Amino acid sequence: MATHHRLPPPCILLLLLLFLSHLIFAAVGKESRSSNKNDNLVRSSCVHASYPGICLRTLSSYKGAVNSPRQLAQAAVKVSLARAQKVSAYLGSLIVSSGGKKKREQAALRDCVEQVGDSVDQLRKTLSELKHLHRGGGAEFRWQMSNAETWVSAALTNEDTCLDGFREVEPEPEPAGGKKVVGSDVKRKITNVAKVTSNALYLINRLDPQTPI
């Protein structure tokens, strides 16, 4: 004997559809509220940064979590670290091909490689310290904050020192064909790293024991 499967009444299908729609809209609304909260945090935090436009642009597009001032400071350090690593690799490639360059430019490149390498190490230590900030303040929190501020300040000093070394190198004439001038290209890249590092230092300085972490 054949078995007949009865279809659910239309009212049940309608209720099921309404329930699924509610779940979808609730999830979208929650994501939207979270996104707005993150945007507001970035905007309010970047408004008085050393370079507000760069701060807003780099952190608004950051893909990781930025739900608190500490996470925002970590994100800023990660941005600075990533750019410093990229510049370090770029400088290393210039060293390999520096045979035809002037002696002063070669010396500036070597010094810059060392200084940016130090910046990378200091930013890594800063990031590690921020990830393990002591909850509740106290002496340990102040010690960690002092370390983070000292290391980021040192990274910024190294980047400035690199720039100073290239400022002393005589400007090269623009080559035919529109090729990049090495000195000016290095200065542009290091300046960019220094700006995001300065913003990271500002965001770290804003942290205090009462700040949610």
| Distance in angstroms (rounded) separating the CA atoms of residues 81 and 122 | 9
pTM for this predicted structure: 0.76
**pLDDT, position 29:** 43
Identify residue 109 by its one-letter amino acid code.
L
Residue 91, token pair as written in the block: 């400088």
Distances (CA, A) of 40 to 24, 60, 139, 148: 24, 10, 31, 25
CB-based contacts of 49-56 (< 8 A; 24+ apart in sequence): 49/198, 49/199, 49/202, 49/203, 50/195, 50/198, 50/199, 50/201, 50/202, 51/195, 51/196, 51/198, 51/199, 54/195, 54/196, 54/199, 55/199, 55/202, 55/203
Domain 36-205 is found in CATH 1.20.140.40: yes
**Cα torsion through 66, 195, 81, 134, rounded to 10:** -50
**41 CB burial (10 A radius; 0-12, 13-18, 19+):** middle
Q: Which residues of the chain have pLDDT under 50?
A: 26-34, 177-180
**pLDDT, position 178:** 47
Where along the chain do its domains lie? 36-205
C-beta of residue 154 within 8 angstroms of C-beta of residue 118: yes
